[in-house]
Structure 1
Amino acid sequence: MDMQRPLLTVDKLSVSFTMETGIVDAVKQVSFSMHQGQTLALVGESGSGKSVTSGALMGLLPKNARVDPSSQIHFQGTDLLSLPERVLRGYRGGKIAMIFQEPMTSLNPYMPVGEQVAEAIRCHRDVTRQEAMEETLALFERVQLPEPRKRLRHYSHEFSGGQLQRIMIAMALANKPDLLIADEPTTALDVTVQAEVLSLLKEIQAEMGMAILFITHDLGVVRHFADDVVVMCQGEVVEAGHVDKVFHSPEHPYTKMLLDAEPKPGEASEKPQAPVILDAQEIKVRYVLKSNWLGQPSEYLDAVKGISLTLRQGETLGIVGESGSGKSTLGRALMQLLPFSGTVSFDGRKLGDMSARERFELKRHMQMVFQDPYGSLSPRMTIGEIITEPLTVFTQMTKSERIQKARKALDEVRMDPTCINRYPHEFSGGQRQRIAIARALVSEPKFILLDEPTSALDRSVQLTVLELLKDIQRRHHIGYVFISHDLAVVRAISDQVMVMQRGEVVEQGTPEQIFDHPQQAYTQRLISACMMVEDAA
């Protein structure tokens, strides 16, 4: 590593945005430097200015952004902020490459992935299409994409999240950049895939000698992946230094708060034997993959293979497993959101024996909180309209009565009831998830299915939401089925844990049994990958 001359120097970077409500200062006087081969982690919660900083480095800020004239970004001695767009384009994707957080939205759904990577090569180098495709094939092999030659012709929707992220890494490495910016590259991935992607990045970095600017809100991932860390809060750098110093001797209260925000295992306690609220027996879900020329199914995918479970009032059943294990499909079957075989009983009554009207009325007591708080709330409705919608459907309450219930639900999730007339875009991700929980609570349910409700949230916000859910459960004795790939979160909230793989239950027991004494090889691999991500990246 050349310690004499920094590869990148950011000096007093300030970025503001012109909004309808006025000027918003997103980044304030941020300074740091990087050397060749170094890994620098830029950490902080959503809204801290991390991604705006990386956008300024790449020249990818929106039109309403303004970079202060006194700001300087020097890359290999060149001030990037003074370059015209035509020249900057040569740096972007060539000398500086970027891996974005969500690969599905970063890739063109109308082009085969091989063509997209080859296009990135041809934009920066004078090579033929055939030469670019051969280089792309070599890159796909390098990032360990299965069946690389065949995959050149596939489209983005034909890949898993982990495979898409490998393709994005291949595209970023296509022109052998000196600096790789990785913006939350593992946030939406399973722990096993996270570990594989992080290991792959370190391996390629050692081989190519490039520097990595790693942007994340997950300090567990950073702990041993980075050499140095810069902590940002509300657009400012509040602490910076070697990763060991920052993690073991944090000085700023905000850094200490981030480090303390890891979900802690709940204390084991004997709960009184409550009545069974949900009982499912031999649940099977089968998808048709292909049909013959007569329209009859000829090929199936068994997504859920005869799973049984019981949930008692006031208890939480955590369901974990990698993407494709069938956990979300099982959850949707329990909620009657897709066809399935088997029996589901709620509060002692089989759903199959109920009339259509009875099943409709039952939905008031079976609610769901979805993974994405941005997509599950209508942007055209106020918070009050969103929360009171279940009451409009299931009750005969007057408008004033519904509004009163909505205010009470907002108070339950520790939000100001006066925000009832605001819209979802005016809230942060954590606040939106609280609103989604308030919507589920307003009809006074006995059971809530929580499908990855914290995966898109910062660790500190996750912790707040988990404490909120446990507090609500204690007060109202609601049963939860909590689906997640985040093992730390599941351990913190669950009374029982079910581990799924390929549509089957491979292990089940208390959190202590599953996490401290796993019996099955698959469970051991999941926990080992989680430890690698959090403790050794």
Structure 2
Amino acid sequence: MAVQHPLLEVNDLSVSFKMEDECFDAVKNISFTLEKGQTLALVGESGSGKSVSSSSIMGLLPNNARIGEQSAIRFQGQDLLGMDEKAFRNIRGDRIAMIFQEPMTSLNPYMPVGEQVAEAIIHHRGVSKREAMEQTLALFEKVHLPEPGKRLNHYPHEFSGGQLQRIMIAMALANTPDILVADEPTTALDVTVQAEVLNLLKEIQAEMGMAILFITHDLGVVRHFADDVVVMCKGEVVETGTVEGVFTAPKHDYTKMLLDAEPKPGMHETDLSSPNILEVRDLRVNYVLKNNWLGQPTELLQAVKGIDLTLKQGQTVGIVGESGSGKSTMGRAIMQLLDSQGDITFQGKRFSDMTNQQRFELKRNMQMVFQDPFGSLSPRMTVGEIVTEPLTVFTDLSHQERLAKAKKALEEVRLDPASINRYPHEFSGGQRQRIAIARALILEPQFILLDEPTSALDRSVQLTVLELLKDIQQRRNIAYLFISHDLSVVRAISDEVIVMQKGAVVERGTPEQIFDNPQEAYTQRLISACMLIDEGAAA
């Protein structure tokens, strides 16, 4: 009689990273199993070992990683750790597929997205390119990518973060895998799309009997989506069980802390008599989609449509809306990273009236934290070099003075100052975002544009970062423009909220007005979707 093996077995998995003069233990003797049709969630703070565990299963660890001698990972009884690379490639992407946390760094910037998804289908299925493109179009429709037929030939940089994640989900599902490893698959998605994608994954799972290993810091998603949960802390498993059992009666103090971590409304109040630091009038951004043979534009995409905005010194204005609503485009235009029409005035000076040198000097007081922490951090620079880079451009501080300020900035964002000589790839996604925040804060600017600054962070670290941002704002009187799809975070930190849809403002007001008494149907839909996820966490 044949022995029945679990679909996936992980036994005594240990992973360490060899550094210059030390060895860092990232995962310490963890074990779990995954059955057909099961959804198992790995949860824990950034740096707890969740993503390292998933990379071990996929055979995607960096060269300096070492797996323990007693460790074992088996897929349907087959030893994955002892498998040669050619055999592993036949399983990876076909039988076991993965959705990565950072879609922009996972997609080839030189290939249209349709060809990238079709390539995976052709490689594993051997179908023609035409058939593969037809299947790709159907997958894009399934994951609710806007105008899927037109977007097949577009490149990754032409999509928002949430749209890129939907493309990655389509690619992972292309070959109907037995196991889907989903590493923070909804991090970049707004709440309405998040709910749609989770329901889509559930439908496909029921149809295919697919097992899902779900790695996330969002406990609301876990409660809404998973069957069982493994709680990790500092590389170790501290609690396991059914979602219902762990969420209703957590046994470990760490699990209780995670469940209690939730941003509270009204974290900040501003003196509305403060002077204006930023004024935006009739801001418009157009993308050229097609040119005629003379090079003149014949088709435009209106990404931002005549937006007005005023930000006072020490105030926080939150910008919310679905992916593709124009939030990030508007932010980049304000930071002079995109060409735009309209007037932008900072500290009483219009950018259109300034020389290039004047703009450069003013930008010391304007800093930005980007949505994608991996793409915005140079892989060739140490953390110390990354954080101190603005100081080398704008100050005459000595090397030792710069390092001292960098260590203090890392402490403020709850990172070990001893990590100053490590590189970005040695950190989790949430830790990399904290490095980006430290870099933005080091010049002590008067205005910071925060584009999804907490999207990669677990709830407990979100609270730490929000408290940090609030404390720094009160001490230094900094103004924040806070762009996010996480409505609970926006409500907690904002003095005013602006709701955007398709490049235009549909509603604005205080957090109480927007969240307790929304007037527009679009705003009501956003808040309803957010409540659905939050109720999952609280249930």
TM-score, normalised via structure 2 length: 0.85
Instruction: Verify: 1:98 aligned to 2:105, yes or no.
Output: no
Instruction: Verify: 1:201 aligned to 2:201, yes or no.
Output: yes
1:36 match: secondary structure: coil
Instruction: Verify: 1:13 aligned to 2:13, yes or no.
Output: yes
Q: CA distance change for structure 1 residues 386 and 299 in 2, over 3 Å: closer, same or farther?
A: same
Instruction: Verify: 1:508 aligned to 2:498, yes or no.
Output: no
Residue 165 of structure 1 contacts residue 185 of structure 1 at CA under 8 Å; is this kept in 2? yes
Out of 498-507 and 60-69, give the one that drifted further: 60-69
Partner of 1:218: 218
1:32 match: secondary structure: strand
Name the amino acid aligned to 2:241.
Answer: G
Q: CA distance change for structure 1 residues 269 and 162 in 2, over 3 Å: closer, same or farther?
A: closer
Instruction: Verify: 1:399 aligned to 2:413, yes or no.
Output: no
Residue 118 of structure 2 contacts residue 132 of structure 2 at CA under 8 Å; is this kept in 1? yes
CA displacement, residues 479-507 of structure 1 (integer Å, 9 cap, x when unaligned): 11111222121111111111111221111
Q: CA distance change for structure 1 residues 385 and 7 in 2, over 3 Å: closer, same or farther?
A: closer
Residue 424 of structure 1 contacts residue 432 of structure 1 at CA under 8 Å; is this kept in 2? no
2:225 match: secondary structure: coil
Instruction: Verify: 1:517 aligned to 2:517, yes or no.
Output: yes
CA displacement, residues 14-56 of structure 1 (integer Å, 9 cap, x when unaligned): 2334443343333222122222221111112232222332233
Q: CA distance change for structure 1 residues 177 and 20 in 2, over 3 Å: closer, same or farther?
A: same
Residue 499 of structure 2 contacts residue 508 of structure 2 at CA under 8 Å; is this kept in 1? yes
Name the amino acid aligned to 2:310.
Answer: T
Out of 20-29 and 81-90, give the one that drifted further: 81-90
TM-score, normalised via structure 1 length: 0.85
CA displacement, residues 332-353 of structure 1 (integer Å, 9 cap, x when unaligned): 3333333333333333444445
Residue 388 of structure 2 contacts residue 406 of structure 2 at CA under 8 Å; is this kept in 1? no
| Distance of 1:160 and 1:438 partners within structure 2 | 25
Instruction: Verify: 1:294 aligned to 2:298, yes or no.
Output: no
CA displacement, residues 77-125 of structure 1 (integer Å, 9 cap, x when unaligned): 4444454555444443443333333344444555565555555455555
| Distance of 1:121 and 1:272 partners within structure 2 | 56
Q: CA distance change for structure 1 residues 148 and 344 in 2, over 3 Å: closer, same or farther?
A: closer
Name the amino acid aligned to 1:503.
Answer: G
Residue 42 of structure 2 contacts residue 213 of structure 2 at CA under 8 Å; is this kept in 1? yes
Out of 257-266 and 382-391, give the one that drifted further: 382-391
Partner of 2:176: 176
Partner of 1:256: 256
Deviation of the 1:470 alpha carbon: 0.3
Instruction: Verify: 1:230 aligned to 2:219, yes or no.
Output: no
Partner of 1:413: 412
Deviation of the 1:467 alpha carbon: 0.6
CA displacement, residues 507-529 of structure 1 (integer Å, 9 cap, x when unaligned): 10111111111111111122222
Partner of 2:33: 33
Out of 360-369 and 197-206, give the one that drifted further: 360-369
Q: CA distance change for structure 1 residues 343 and 116 in 2, over 3 Å: closer, same or farther?
A: closer
Partner of 1:47: 47
Identity of aligned residues (%): 71
Partner of 2:472: 472
CA displacement, residues 387-424 of structure 1 (integer Å, 9 cap, x when unaligned): 555555556x5638964983696388367997697465
Out of 400-409 and 269-278, give the one that drifted further: 400-409
| Distance of 2:150 and 2:342 partners within structure 1 | 39
> In the TM superposition, what are the counterparts of 1:134-533 in structure 2 within 5 Å?
139=139, 142-143=142-143, 161-266=161-266, 271=271, 273-353=273-353, 358-378=358-378, 390=390, 393-394=393-394, 397=396, 399=398, 403=402, 406=405, 410=409, 413=412, 422=421, 425=424, 433-533=433-533
| Distance of 1:399 and 1:369 partners within structure 2 | 25
CA displacement, residues 164-191 of structure 1 (integer Å, 9 cap, x when unaligned): 4444444434443332222222212222
| Distance of 1:358 and 1:304 partners within structure 2 | 26
Out of 407-416 and 292-301, give the one that drifted further: 407-416
| Distance of 1:345 and 1:128 partners within structure 2 | 54
Residue 433 of structure 2 contacts residue 453 of structure 2 at CA under 8 Å; is this kept in 1? yes
Structure 1's unaligned 5+ residue stretches are: none
Partner of 1:73: 73
Q: CA distance change for structure 1 residues 139 and 352 in 2, over 3 Å: closer, same or farther?
A: closer
Deviation of the 1:280 alpha carbon: 2.1
CA displacement, residues 259-314 of structure 1 (integer Å, 9 cap, x when unaligned): 22322222575746222222222222333333333333333232222211212221
Deviation of the 1:317 alpha carbon: 0.7
| Distance of 1:214 and 1:461 partners within structure 2 | 20
1:224 match: secondary structure: helix
Out of 27-36 and 225-234, give the one that drifted further: 27-36
| Distance of 1:79 and 1:411 partners within structure 2 | 41
| Distance of 1:85 and 1:393 partners within structure 2 | 45
Residue 384 of structure 2 contacts residue 403 of structure 2 at CA under 8 Å; is this kept in 1? no
| Distance of 1:428 and 1:121 partners within structure 2 | 30
CA displacement, residues 357-396 of structure 1 (integer Å, 9 cap, x when unaligned): 544433333333333444444556666665555555556x
Residue 317 of structure 1 contacts residue 498 of structure 1 at CA under 8 Å; is this kept in 2? yes
| Distance of 2:170 and 2:440 partners within structure 1 | 42
Q: CA distance change for structure 1 residues 336 and 247 in 2, over 3 Å: closer, same or farther?
A: same
Out of 255-264 and 442-451, give the one that drifted further: 442-451
2:36 match: secondary structure: coil
2:180 match: secondary structure: strand
| Distance of 1:419 and 1:65 partners within structure 2 | 20
Q: CA distance change for structure 1 residues 518 and 116 in 2, over 3 Å: closer, same or farther?
A: same
| Distance of 1:369 and 1:246 partners within structure 2 | 35
Name the amino acid aligned to 2:370.
Answer: F
Name the amino acid aligned to 1:309.
Answer: L
Q: CA distance change for structure 1 residues 109 and 448 in 2, over 3 Å: closer, same or farther?
A: closer
